[in-house]
Structures are given as structure tokens and as C-alpha cells.
């Protein structure tokens, strides 16, 4: 039985997709498909998007246990591999959720994700947030868990030791962090036996995080950018009146008009050229194919890149209020804006 060549549906050869070289030497595709469907997309629809995106040439899929769709995605990945894409050609990430930071929970949670995804190993496993602060799905941003706590480095490192054990036992190939800050990462880099291979962080033209971006790259950590087009599908609880929309920025619109592409594709092209790995989510085939095609087509000009660099508004969209640990706090307390870790 013969199979169509990978990417035949859209004419995009996965070999043309840029790669990031991790400090281990492993190549990671420089664009992935996110799988967080927010409140709007069902697990079945996301699994269909994974199937379609793999057919379109995607090889990098960013998953997480808390998204509630890994079992559906697992069946899609099984079909992708049975359809002729070697497991070694795929890059699959999952994440440890906040209520699983206890030492006895880390390995079990990873094994559950592996079972759900129908995989023998993960290419990357991340600590989703540095706070072990659980909140129920759909809660208001004012919710505070009874056991919520600040970032306590000794506690985080107990979790990280079990993450390292996952690498040492072969269940995962790489481990990484997510939603971290420079002062937190400095402590992790000081104390880790196996350092993070990536840091996943919000990155888009209106939130470029230059200090954190440059820090992780200087440490040999690859920045993975979530919400790369400004997370238009994020839950209503994460929206505030001060939020801006990068895909409606005049600079982005002008470049998109000149190139005859959607403004979202401009954001994706900028992300890859800047040096981060965007993980846009869409269940719409025309959208995820356009994003991938934008990455393998003619690059933005130096003038374009300079113009986009100048529109940073320091506008964080995913503020994380539900991870705060006491009343009367501002979401900025999660992000160490003073340059020091916010005390308990």
C-alpha cells in the first residue's frame, strides 16, 4: 500500500520547515500546532485538526493534560503514524498541570499523558506553570485556591527532580519550563542537573518580552511562543479593556496588504524569523495551512522586522490571575515585574 507524500494536500514539504537546534543537538520544528481549544473548540475538532495539520506538513504538536483532549489527540497521532509518518519525525510536547507538582504525582501524570497520547515517549515535557495552584475549569479570575502558594524555589526543585527522572528513565527526551520569569529561571539554572531545553511563554508583536527572550536564548534555552497572533479565542475571563490586538495593528496590516496574506500570517512569519517557535492554534484547515506556508515562503524584509520590533506594547494577554495565592494581589505579582521573585 502506498501513502501520499507528507504535505501533499497543501504542497508543503515538512523538510522545508525551519528547525531549532536544542542544546542536546536535537532538531525541533520551528512552528507547531497548539491544541488548547479554549472554551470554543471540542476535543474531537482538535483531534481532527491534528490529523489535518499532519497531512499539511506539521510535525510539532503542543499538548497538555489540562486541555482535556489528549486521549482524542492520541487516536489522531496513531492514525498519522500508521499513515506513514515515522514517530521519530514527530515532535510531541505535553505539560504537567498545577495539581500534580507533588513528587509522587509527576511521573504518574506523565505516564497518563503518554497513555492518552498513545506514545512510548514524549519529545518534551514542561512544567505548565511554576505555581502549584489548582483552580476548577471555568472559574472566575477572582478564584483563589485554598492551598495556593507563591513560587517557592525549594518546592519547585522537588518537582524538577522528578522531571529530571523522566529524562533519566527515557519517558521523555527533554524537559522545559513555561510561564517563567528571569529571576525564577536563574535559580533553576543554578540548581538543575538537567537544564530546561525550552521556556514556553507568551510572545506576539504587542508582547515581545525582550529581556526574558534574550535571557533564555543566552542560556541555550529555546523560546516557544504561545498566543503568537494575540489569542483571539482566549476565554472571556482572560480579557481586559486594556488588551490590544496585534493583528489589527496598522504596521501588521500594512505588511499583510503588501504581501497579500492574512495579518495572522505576518505575526507567525515574524515570530519564526525573530528566533522563537510559535505554536498557533486553529481548527480551520485554511488557517493552519496558511500559517505553515507563511513560514516556508519568502521572509519578511529587515525593514518589516524593524517596524514590528517598534510596536511592542508590553501588553500581556494571558495574565494568570487564578494562580495568585492571596487576596489583594495584582496579576503582576505572578511575573516578578520588579526583577525579584514576589515574596509569599
Residues taking part in catalysis: 67
Q: Residue 42 and residue 36: Cα distance in Å, rounded?
A: 10
* C-alpha torsion angle, residues 140, 146, 149, 155 (rounded to 10): -120
Q: Residue 99 and residue 137: Cα distance in Å, rounded?
A: 13
CA quadruple 175, 52, 35, 112: dihedral sign: negative
The C-alpha cell that represents 102 in the structure block:
507533588
- The edge-to-edge listing of strands for the beta sheet with 33-34 is 33-34, 60-62, 91-96, 124-127, 175-178, 198-202, 222-226, 277-278
Q: Pick from 105, 175, 183: which is nearest to 341 by CA?
A: 183
The C-alpha cell that represents 325 in the structure block:
495565592
Tell me the three-class secondary structure of 148-173, residue by residue: CCCCCHHHHHHHHHHHHHHHHCCCEC
Do residues 315 and 82 lie in contact, with contact meaning Cβ atoms separated by under 8 Å? no
Rounded to the nearest 10 degrees, what angle do helices 302-309 and 250-259 cross at? 160
Q: Residue 88 and residue 93: Cα distance in Å, rounded?
A: 13
Residue 226 β-bridge partners: 202
Chain center to CA of 57:
19
- For the chain, give the number of residues: 344
Amino acid at each position: 500500500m502506498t501513502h501520499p507524500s507528507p504535505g501533499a494536500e497543501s504542497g508543503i514539504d515538512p523538510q522545508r520547515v525551519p528547525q531549532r537546534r536544542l542544546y542536546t543537538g536535537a532538531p525541533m520544528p520551528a512552528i507547531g500546532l497548539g491544541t488548547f481549544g479554549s472554551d470554543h473548540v471540542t476535543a474531537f475538532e482538535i483531534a481532527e485538526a491534528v490529523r489535518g495539520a499532519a497531512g499539511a506538513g506539521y510535525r510539532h504538536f503542543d499538548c497538555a493534560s489540562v486541555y482535556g483532549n489528549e486521549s482524542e489527540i492520541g487516536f489522531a497521532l496513531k492514525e498519522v503514524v500508521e499513515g506513514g509518518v515515522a514517530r521519530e519525525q514527530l515532535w510531541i510536547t505535553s505539560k504537567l498541570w498545577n495539581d500534580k507538582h507533588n513528587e509522587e504525582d509527576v511521573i504518574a501524570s506523565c505516564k497518563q499523558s503518554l497513555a492518552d497520547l498513545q506514545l512510548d515517549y514524549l519529545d518534551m515535557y514542561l512544567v505548565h506553570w511554576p505555581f502549584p495552584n489548582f483552580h476548577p475549569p471555568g472559574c472566575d479570575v477572582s478564584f483563589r485556591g485554598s492551598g495556593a502558594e507563591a513560587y517557592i524555589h525549594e518546592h519547585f526543585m522537588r518537582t524538577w527532580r522528578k522531571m529530571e527522572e523522566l529524562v533519566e528513565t527515557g519517558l521523555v527526551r527533554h524537559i522545559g519550563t513555561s510561564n517563567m520569569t528571569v529571576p525564577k529561571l536563574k535559580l533553576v539554572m543554578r540548581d538543575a542537573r538537567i537544564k530546561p531545553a525550552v521556556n514556553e511563554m507568551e510572545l506576539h508583536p504587542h508582547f515581545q518580552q525582550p529581556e526574558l527572550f534574550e535571557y533564555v536564548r543566552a542560556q541555550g534555552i529555546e523560546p516557544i511562543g504561545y498566543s503568537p497572533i494575540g489569542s483571539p479565542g482566549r476565554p472571556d475571563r482572560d480579557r481586559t479593556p486594556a488588551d490590544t490586538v496585534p493583528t489589527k495593528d496598522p504596521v501588521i496590516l500594512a505588511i499583510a496588504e503588501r504581501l497579500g496574506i492574512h495579518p495572522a500570517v505576518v505575526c507567525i512569519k515574524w515570530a519564526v524569523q525573530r528566533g522563537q517557535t510559535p505554536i498557533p492554534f486553529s481548527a480551520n484547515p485554511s488557517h493552519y495551512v496558511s500559517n505553515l506556508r507563511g513560514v516556508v515562503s519568502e521572509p519578511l524584509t529587515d525593514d518589516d522586522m524593524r517596524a514590528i520590533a517598534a510596536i511592542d506594547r508590553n501588553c500581556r494577554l494571558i495574565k494568570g490571575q487564578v494562580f495568585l495565592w492571596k487576596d489583594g494581589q495584582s496579576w503582576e505579582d505572578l511575573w516578578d515585574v520588579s526583577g525579584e521573585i514576589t515574596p509569599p
